Amino acid sequence: MEIDRKQGSSLAEIDVPALIDRLPIGKFQIRVLLICAAVLFVDGFDTQAIGYVAPALAQEWKLTRGALGPVFSAGLFGLMLGAIAFGTLADRVGRKRIIVIATAAFGLGTLATVLAQDATSLIALRFLTGLGLGGAMPNAVALTSELAPHRRRATMVMAMFAGFSIGAALGGLLAAALIPAFGWRAVFLVGGLVPLLLTPLLAVSLPESIRYLALAGGRDRDVATLLRQVDPTLRTADDTRFVLAEPRLPGLPVAHLFAERRAGTTLLLWVVFFMSLLDLYLLSNWLPTVLNDLGVSVSSAAAIGAMLQVGGVVGTFALGRIIDRFSFRALALTYLGAAIAVAAIGVSGHAIALVTIAIFAAGFCIVGGQIAANALTATYYPTAIRATGMGWALGIGRIGSIVGPLIGGAMLASHVDVETLFVVAAIPALVAAATALLLARIV
């Protein structure tokens, strides 16, 4: 590919986003997508592990169901702080460095959970693990989106994010196999070793974001090297400059989320993330326990609960192209479907086959919807604040993910019947649907 030269100057300039947008998706982008998906695979496994081991852990330590609520929320509180802090930091120091550090951190935290002897130590370890888990996700989303052409950005981000759902689903299936044979600690042993083994591979194989490097300036040779992997036919001169038609946005990154008429969209995105993650974590943390209370064995409850994430994987791949085309309108319909599916879990009673189908449908819509919201958020914000925008949206969403398990624990401790529990759980999905419809009108 020939480079363009500015008229009246010998200095060549290449617009990085324009170049990426007019190229097809190639092997380099797919490789980065798969590496980021691997990060989210272990992130999903470690995030959801506590929900799958909860029934066995409660039996061993003789805990009431409500006593596990603080354990769930401690990890999610760490996720919230990690997403906000590491998302903002990555807009200063780069995506790759934060992904590597965060992956090592949550690997060590998950491995240390094997040593927990009571609820107090478990709360502390889940909080520390959550910091790393929260830092990896927004930066994997930002890095993938910044390598994707605009016309396929949502599809690529959602395909990458399927790694999280696959890891979370595998966590349930693996827990069903490991807990009866080796106890609940074996789940955390596996969940800690895998990210620690992945960390050196990330340090060697994961590239930095091309758009981040171009915006930072002074890294033209590094940008040229990466762009030649995107487009092997690209030929550039030594004095070629790589630019973005975007400002650097100096100052506090979070302030720019509300500048240039972004305030309304930012706040509405936060509402969607809050409601979506409230619902998702209420279900993912308490489904195995509720199913166990209905008479399903611990291992079977973990396997059936994993259908939430299996449905999410299917929903992610099914919705990608639709979200690229119809954006927030499709997201609103997805969350409406989620509300119907969640309510159906409760009204299915003790018919396990119907409950399993309803859980799968809820995962299709809630997990698929959340991943679509991630993709649309990454597309909305400019490069200079993309990781910040993702980090804060996920961070605010994590407040919902903290509240969700606490609501579920409080309702179960009050002996609310299953039907009422899931009808109440459908309300946040309805709010997310209405908010997404508003976003469709203003974005």
Sign of CA dihedral 361, 362, 367, 373: positive
Structure confidence by residue, pLDDT tens digits, 98-139: 999 999 999 999 999 999 888 889 999 999 999 999 999 899
Averaged pLDDT for residues 375-394: 90
Q: Does the pLDDT of residue 366 top 50, yes or no?
A: yes
pLDDT at 34: 95
Q: 168-196 b/e with 16+ CB inside 10 Å = b?
A: bbbbbbbbbebbeeeebbbbbbbbbebbb
Q: Which residue has the tokens 């203003």?
A: 442
pLDDT at 437: 97
**Looking at the domain assignment, is residue 131 inside a domain?**
yes
Strands 241-243 and 4-5: unpaired
Q: How far apart are CA 19 and CA 16, in angstroms?
A: 5
Distances (CA, A) of 137 to 3, 38, 162, 166, 434: 35, 11, 12, 15, 26
State the CB neighbour count (10 A cutoff) for residue 325.
12
Structure confidence by residue, pLDDT tens digits, 131-172: 999 999 899 989 999 998 988 888 899 899 888 888 887 887
CB-based contact 267:377 (threshold 8 Å): no
Domain count, the chain: 1
Q: Does the pLDDT of residue 4 top 80, yes or no?
A: no
Residue 168 DSSP one-character state: H
Lowest mean pLDDT among 22-26, 30-34, 203-207, 349-353: 349-353
**Among candidates 154, 142, 437, 440, which has minimal Cα distance to 322?**
154
**Looking at the domain assignment, is residue 7 inside a domain?**
no
pLDDT at 303: 80
Residue type, 175: A
**Looking at the domain assignment, is residue 232 inside a domain?**
yes
Q: What is the dihedral of CA 165, 167, 170, 172, to 10 degrees?
A: -80
**Looking at the domain assignment, is residue 276 inside a domain?**
yes
**Among candidates 208, 207, 217, which has minimal Cα distance to 244?**
217
Q: How many CA atoms lie within 13 A of 174 on its CB side?
A: 22
State which residues form the domain around 35.
Answer: 14-442
**Among candidates 361, 355, 343, 365, which has minimal Cα distance to 276?**
365
- CATH code of residue 116: 1.20.1250.20
**Looking at the domain assignment, is residue 5 inside a domain?**
no
**Looking at the domain assignment, is residue 3 inside a domain?**
no
**Looking at the domain assignment, is residue 4 inside a domain?**
no
DSSP letter string, 372-402: HHHHHHHHHS-GGGHHHHHHHHHHHHHHHHH
CB-based contact 154:379 (threshold 8 Å): yes
